[in-house]
Amino acid sequence: MADLIELFHSRRAVVGVLGLGYVGLPLVATIAEAGFASVGFDTRQDKIESLRRAESYIRHVPSSRLVPIVRDSFAAGTPGFFPSADYADLRRCDGILICVPTPLTENREPDLSYVIATAETVAAHLRAGQLIVLESTTYPGTTDEVVRPILERGGLIAGRDFHLAFSPEREDPNNVSFTTRTIPKLVGGITPHCGKVAAALYGAVIDQVVPVSSAAVAEAAKLLENIYRSVNIALVNELKMLFDRMGLNIWEIIDAAATKPFGFTPFYPGPGLGGHCIPIDPFYLTWRARQFEMSTRFIELAGEINLAMPAYVVERVADALNERGKSLKGAKILLLGVAYKRDLDDDRESPSFKLIELLQRKHAQVSYHDPFVPTLHSGRRYDYRLRSITLDAQSVAAADAVLIATDHTNVDYDFVVRHAQLVVDSRNATRNVRLGRGKIVLA
Ligand SMILES: NC(=O)c1ccc[n+]([C@@H]2O[C@H](COP(=O)([O-])OP(=O)(O)OC[C@H]3O[C@@H](n4cnc5c(N)ncnc54)[C@H](O)[C@@H]3O)[C@@H](O)[C@H]2O)c1
């Protein structure tokens, strides 16, 4: 067992990553760049084929980053990244990291089907001496109570024959100040020794590893981080509605409060929550809390307020049109941004989908522009089949209102305001626009 720690320290170990999405792809690249031979697996064959050509499908992981590390064949001891379609390659791995989705079911309960399917795949190839780490965000207890029994089905025992740990991913796509390597990594094992082995692997890849006493503590810490964001965003969303009624600008108030050098962290309002994490993860804990006969009122309240935001924004659009003698019915609305976050190509759980639904329900004609999302794909809940239109003087002027839902930095907001009849801005993207401020309504 001590050998495995040495293998990680010396980077002679082989590391496998299951799930090459927004989390797994930058992670496997970082591991290969640290000098490990690594193998990446994904159920999507098209992703594996694309990676074999060193072509990235994630905008902030450029292909130029993959070119020097992608290998055509597996070679233990040679640093690099081998995309594999053959799960038998799992046996070659000393460490296996699981980065698969953890969404909610239709009833807003944890959907662990991807984690379970992946654990079953790993179990089928498990050999003594391996380290398995779950990275997917989930409720405290998952690694020990869900993953462990599946891995032990073949007779090997966690903590004795193989190592098992949890280490949450803290990826913040497009954050220029932090990368996978420089974001401190929490690590908790299902036994103290499992934690040590996992810390040895991450210590060879990540600048700072933070060991905690158990996998469950690491699972809970990740949820605390995301719940903290959800609750604070809900707070400013609620205050936005109140201050607006008082004729006060929430953005100016937040900037003012943020000058306090201690005890205040700014959070910003918006048209609702989006992305894979903040709208989903808190409800993993809510569900788990029910098993302990507790309710999580902060989480529920924050969810309620944040979920109400798209309706509030649409109401602001309707009011602003009304002021100008128009109704939402039949109005042409140009939605700016469908990505859930600035400068990303990720539209998962984006509040823009809800905005389109609510606007269409009121019989508005909706078009959209997003420089990073050329078309809307059909999803579990929505099937809009819209294409991003060109943002030019004509398309902007033709809209009765331009609704800013995402504040992409490569959009010229001076231009938009100059040509628009009306701009409803839910992100304060127009904060630096000087001319035509009378056309702007903050929402
Ligand atoms: N995206 C983020 O910014 C972020 C940040 C922190 C944590 N997380 C967490 O990380 C986890 C992964 O999120 P993501 O954004 O990378 O998801 P993603 O959907 O981008 O990627 C997941 C990948 O796993 C693959 N996959 C599914 N089942 C598989 C299986 N059985 N075997 C192999 N591959 C499989 C999918 O094809 C997909 O490519 C989630 O738990 C999420 O909550 C995400």
The residue annotated as part of the active site, out of 93, 99, 194, 277, is 277
Q: What's the rounded Cα separation, in Å, for the pair 141 and 207?
A: 27
Q: Which atom of ligand 1 is nearest to the CA of 281?
A: 43
Q: What percent of the chain has pLDDT over 70?
A: 100
Q: Probe ligand 1: pick from 17, 18, 20, 23, max atoms within 8 Å of CB?
A: 23
50 lines ligand 1 (CB under 6 A): no
Q: 117 in ligand 1 pocket by Cβ < 6 Å?
A: yes
> What whole-number percentage of the chain has pLDDT above 90?
91
User: Alpha-carbon dihedral of residues 37, 43, 47, 50, nearest 10 degrees?
Assistant: 60
Residue 269: left if φ>0, alpha if ψ -120 to 50, beta else—which one? beta
Pure H helices in 78-151: 113-125, 142, 148-151
Helix H or strand E encompassing 269:
none
Question: Nearest CA to 230 among 275, 164, 184?
Answer: 275
What are 314's two structure tokens? 């649409």
Phi, psi of 377 (to 5 degrees): -90, 155
| Residue whose CA is at the smallest distance from ligand 1 atom 26 | 19
Judge whether 64 and 19 are in contact, CB under 8 Å. no
Ligand 1 touching residue 346 (CB < 6 A): no
CA distance linking residue 39 with residue 30, whole number of Å: 12
Predicted confidence (pLDDT) per residue in 315-351, tens digit? 999 999 999 999 999 999 999 999 999 999 889 889 9
Output phi, psi for 335, to 5 deg: -90, 125
In contact, 336 and 350? CB cutoff 8 Å: no
Pocket test for ligand 1, best of 17, 18, 22 (most atoms within 8 A of CB): 22
**CA dist 88 to 91, 123, 127, Å?**
6, 11, 11
Asked if 277 is an active-site residue, the reply is yes
Alpha carbon 68 to chain centroid, angstroms: 26
Q: Looking at ligand 1, which atom is closest to the CA of residue 168?
A: 7
pLDDT digit string, tens, across residues 118-162 = 999 999 999 999 999 999 999 999 999 999 999 999 999 999 999
- In ligand 1, the atom with minimum distance to the C-alpha of 172 is 3
- Please state the pTM of the whole predicted model: 0.93
Buried b (16+ CB within 10 A) or exposed e, 345-357: bbbbbbbbbbbbe
Looking at residue 440, its pLDDT comes to 97
Neighbouring residues of 432: CB distance < 8 A, sequence distance ≥ 6: 413
Examine the pLDDT at 174 and tell me if it is beyond 90.
no
